[in-house]
Structure 1
Amino acid sequence: MASPFASIASQRVSAQKPPRQTPELDFDRCAALHNTISIYGWLRSGRKVADMDRKTWWMKHGTKTLEVLLRPSLVKYLKKIFDLPGGDGSHFFYYISRLAKTREMFYLGDLLDDNEKKLKGEKHRFITLYMTNKELVSQRSGIVYDQETGKAIFMPTFLHIFDLYDGNLPWQRLESILSAYIDMIEAGKAVALHESIGREPRLGPVEGPDGQTSWQEIAPPGPKVDPYTGAKRSRYDTHPWSLVSYTHGDLTTCLRLWEELFTIIEIKSDLRDEEEDPNTTPLCSRSGLSAAGVPRGFAYDLLSHARQPRIWYIAPGIRLPQASEFVNQPFKHVAAKYPKETEGIKMPFLFFRAEGHVTSKQANFRWPFSTVQEVPCGLYLDSYPNKENPFEDACRLVLPFAVGGNKKARTSDGRIMQKSHTEVYAHGINPFTLRHGPKLTAILENWLMNVKSGHWTVDEQGVSGGVEAWKQADTEEHWEKYVSAHLAL
């Protein structure tokens, strides 16, 4: 089946088709990406192209004054792109409601001009080009565009204004951001749903045989899930867009990396030959998952399909849990105690153990999970640090000591890490989407790389070195070995 994005294959950013490095906006390329996303969402919602408002942004808002304030390449872009209203089921993308209106476009400059002396003479350098969906944040901002460099970044809210002059801020070309959104669509992470999915039944006045009018159902409820993807309508007004908390591709990639990682550790530790078939016993039985309180989802599927390895330690000082540890999950009883606050949220799940305990504050878990006074160290599947941005395969590595005091450790956006028990592998600022933890695939890939390269050594119990090895993340020689990839998705 042909991709709905086949017509813009040459415009999408990839390793083979990188963005142009120029201070001018690549307006033709970006316009093709923007308009294709707009049309795709519109059609997937069940609407007709003929009913779509195809007026460009400039046709609605363009003025002579704007031609002076905006770079010529940006003006050309605004003259080419559709300007959907962003409500009534026509949001541009899950995170992005619509293009900014004129006043919204320059609001950031007004804020910065009040606070930053640096802005004298360049008040209109930074503009808000797209608006964050207001259902997802308070005091929304959006995709900020730097007219001087031609680069952009997703800054979700004015409650947390980035230091836009920071040389380490992970600015992107606009075509890279739009291409990342298309990548999310093709991966099945972001789904545009038909307007009938999750629709409530409609009531209306109906006259009965006796002439009396009563309110009755005049349109039935729609299907609860999309029959093609299994996606449900978002609880937030982001229609037609919804996010899938994990995809089949996420699961199969993790299972492949799991097998590769444990295979190489077992071979290096002389616990099996290269030609020998691995053990096929699943890591955890379904009864064990039920006893641990693991609901259906990514963790359940991964643990019931991944094989039981022959070693204990998967990374320095980080091991598989014993059965009693696995069942006694630290947040197991939080949902029962706070049912309303945890509705629609999966508990942080302790996947691998490390020695030691820290406070919930040090582990940086959000309320109500922070009500647990002390938690074990290790790798957690922590899917909802931000429930508006569900990533069930997102992780949090909790170490028994803080890393970052030497100012050498970095987050995956290249910025200096703040001293913390939980920042190793963290993304820092995500220039494409709302924040989420590093995906398990990225961490397993990093561990596989460190084992393959010989940086981590192996003994009969698995990866050796002990938990102290993680202090290498804060050294000049080794910090790059402790940074995760997959920043966008």
Structure 2
Amino acid sequence: MPRTGFDPYLSAQLHNQILERAWIGAGRDVASVPSKTWWEESSPIPFDLASRLNPNLIRFLRSARAIIFDASSDFHLFYYLIALHGKPELFQDSSLRLWGDRFVWLYPSTRTKSDEEVGILFDQETELASFVPDWIDMVFFDMRRWAWRPLQHILQAYLDIIDEGKISTYSDRRKEKLDDMFGVFPWEIHQHTPMDIERAVSAFTRLLDAIETRLPSSSSHEQGLENPSFEEIALPYSESVIDASFTKLDSFTGSFLSALPGRQLRFRYIAPGIRLQNSDEFINQPFAERRNNHPFPERLRAGQATSCFPLLLFRGDQENKSPWSRPWFPDGNASNIPTGFYIEPVHETYNWSSGNKTRLLLPFNIGSNGFARSSNGVPFFPYSWPDQLYHSDLFSGYSGYLPWDSRSSYLHKVLEKWAERVEMGDWLVGKDGVVGGIEKFKEADTEGHWREYVIPW
């Protein structure tokens, strides 16, 4: 494997697997999967083009089977990628010319989120790649803040997404009209999958088990009965409680909460200063009264549900200004809401937005010390915000894998990180669960502890 980390042969192998799945998923015969490589399909390759290409990139192009970019084609390599670019387009865009031959526009985007989406660029100096969400990022933002990684890591992530069922194929084109779906034939995307639910339930169970086994003996069930003021929390919440919180039972959050194993908990705090809510608290959602302040214009939502708002899953003990403003605060002046752990708002008809995205709102800013890092490993500094922990770089980093939908960490990843902190002894447990208070999260911006608070994409 090349010392840079880029493996052209593995990358080509993964590319070919994605192509084969797209081809078969479209209802085409496996025997007719394109057999020519990009290099063969594009031959003859002019010397002045070949001489500008990185040798390892050439090895990839000589091994990757090709469907070549065609603007009129209705077949797409992947939900986010049209195809490999043809030889005229590799260096074509004017934005790329600012850097000479450094960047190759390898895969053009399907523009699922924006007409300005770029796709995957390959940096010929570092031999790393990144999904660039917008041409503006190419021109105005510091490239060092991007999430650059070996191409095979990106392609493997796409195969993982397919295996998880988050993105799947269809062959009946009538589906597009019946479902009024965004057409990226033969691919479609889902807000959540059974695996998303399973992972979240497993991670939450792991966290609760880790805390429960470390409770001091005075918190045992028998001794807890002697303290009538101690409120026992029963999980899962009933359907009536979930419904009263304006959470749809078939949404990710509703499915997750309904799938939790039954248990009685004699502690509340599952992270420092972050606690489980009793039924009344869960029903009393901070944005419930604002749920009909819809994020989309009325002309785009005729007859559609309007219960789209940030949902407080686990409550903090303090308040801070809401990081969400319009449309829930129509004048743009957000007021204070409880700190804690929120599920991001997702409109049920927009399947490209993941239902398991989360945001942790703290009562203080994180980032000013220069140690806290985003999920793509980039320091937040000089930016300091109360809601950026566990997120990708707020301004330019994204994940390097996906377009706009990728800044937030998924629920199961945060819960796994919290369980790990308890299991490793970084977070101690008292009679009411995890101790230390929400100030403990300030460790995320310290030299000795920042690694404990980074969740890679």
TM-score normalised by L of structure 1: 0.77
Q: Does residue 321 of structure 2 align to residue 321 of structure 1?
A: no
Aligned equivalent of 1:205: none
Residues in 2 aligned to 1:280 and 1:24: alpha-carbon distance in whole angstroms = 49
Give 1:143 deviation, angstroms.
0.6
- Over aligned residue pairs, what C-alpha RMSD do you find? 3.0
Q: Does residue 386 of structure 2 align to residue 421 of structure 1?
A: yes
Q: Counterpart of 1:176 in 2: which secondary structure?
A: helix
Letter paired with 2:268: W
Q: Give unmatched runs, 5+ long, in structure 1.
A: 1-19, 201-220, 225-232, 274-278
Give 1:47 deviation, angstroms.
2.4
With over 3 angstroms needed to count, the CA separation of the structure-2 counterparts of 1:449 and 1:48, relative to structure 1, is: same
Residues in 1 aligned to 2:407 and 2:3: alpha-carbon distance in whole angstroms = 30
Q: Deviations over 1:36-63 (max 9, x none)?
A: 2112112112123566665543434743
Aligned equivalent of 1:441: 412
Residues in 2 aligned to 1:344 and 1:65: alpha-carbon distance in whole angstroms = 56
Q: Counterpart of 2:175 in 1: which secondary structure?
A: coil
Q: Does residue 52 of structure 2 align to residue 69 of structure 1?
A: yes
Residues in 2 aligned to 1:455 and 1:72: alpha-carbon distance in whole angstroms = 46
Q: Does residue 434 of structure 2 align to residue 469 of structure 1?
A: no
Aligned equivalent of 1:394: 357
Q: Counterpart of 1:134 in 2: which secondary structure?
A: coil
What does 1:287-302 correspond to in 2, within 5 Å? 287-295=240-248, 296-302=250-256
Q: Does residue 103 of structure 2 align to residue 126 of structure 1?
A: yes
Q: Does residue 236 of structure 2 align to residue 283 of structure 1?
A: yes
Aligned equivalent of 2:91: 106
Residues in 2 aligned to 1:344 and 1:127: alpha-carbon distance in whole angstroms = 43
Match of 2:334 among 355, 373, 390: 373
Q: Percent identity?
A: 30
With over 3 angstroms needed to count, the CA separation of the structure-2 counterparts of 1:72 and 1:261, relative to structure 1, is: closer
What does 1:36-435 correspond to in 2, within 5 Å? 36-49=17-30, 56-58=37-39, 59-60=41-42, 62-80=45-63, 81-84=65-68, 85=70, 88-107=73-92, 110-111=94-95, 114=98, 119=99, 123-161=100-138, 169-196=146-173, 198-200=175-177, 235-269=181-215, 270=217, 271-272=219-220, 281-295=234-248, 296-306=250-260, 307=262, 308-338=264-294, 340-341=296-297, 346-360=308-322, 363=323, 365=324, 367-369=326-328, 371=330, 373-374=334-335, 375-382=337-344, 384=346, 389-417=352-380, 418-428=383-393, 429-434=398-403, 435=406
Q: Counterpart of 1:96 in 2: which secondary structure?
A: coil
Residues in 1 aligned to 2:14 and 2:143: alpha-carbon distance in whole angstroms = 28
- Contact preservation (8 Å) 1:257, 1:444: yes
Give 1:145 deviation, angstroms.
0.4
- Contact preservation (8 Å) 1:383, 1:391: no
Q: Deviations over 1:123-144 (max 9, x none)?
A: 1011110011123223221111
Match of 1:30 among 1, 5, 11: 11
With over 3 angstroms needed to count, the CA separation of the structure-2 counterparts of 1:339 and 1:432, relative to structure 1, is: closer
Q: How many residues align?
A: 420
- Contact preservation (8 Å) 1:385, 1:436: no
With over 3 angstroms needed to count, the CA separation of the structure-2 counterparts of 1:376 and 1:25, relative to structure 1, is: closer
Q: Deviations over 1:227-262 (max 9, x none)?
A: xxxxxx8x3222211122222222122212222211
Letter paired with 1:313: Y
Q: Counterpart of 2:316 in 1: which secondary structure?
A: strand
Aligned equivalent of 2:427: 456
Q: Counterpart of 2:91 in 1: which secondary structure?
A: helix
Q: Counterpart of 2:399 in 1: which secondary structure?
A: coil
Residues in 2 aligned to 1:49 and 1:442: alpha-carbon distance in whole angstroms = 36
Letter paired with 1:354: G
Q: Deviations over 1:416-464 (max 9, x none)?
A: 1130111111133312112241011111111111111222122111111
Q: Deviations over 1:455-487 (max 9, x none)?
A: 2122111111111111111111111111123x1
Residues in 1 aligned to 2:104 and 2:424: alpha-carbon distance in whole angstroms = 44
Bigger relative contact order, structure 1 or 2 (CA pairs below 8 A, ≥6 apart) = 2
- Contact preservation (8 Å) 1:54, 1:83: no
With over 3 angstroms needed to count, the CA separation of the structure-2 counterparts of 1:404 and 1:72, relative to structure 1, is: closer
Q: Give unmatched runs, 5+ long, in structure 2.
A: 222-231
Letter paired with 1:288: V
Q: Which moved more, 1:74-83 or 1:367-376?
A: 367-376
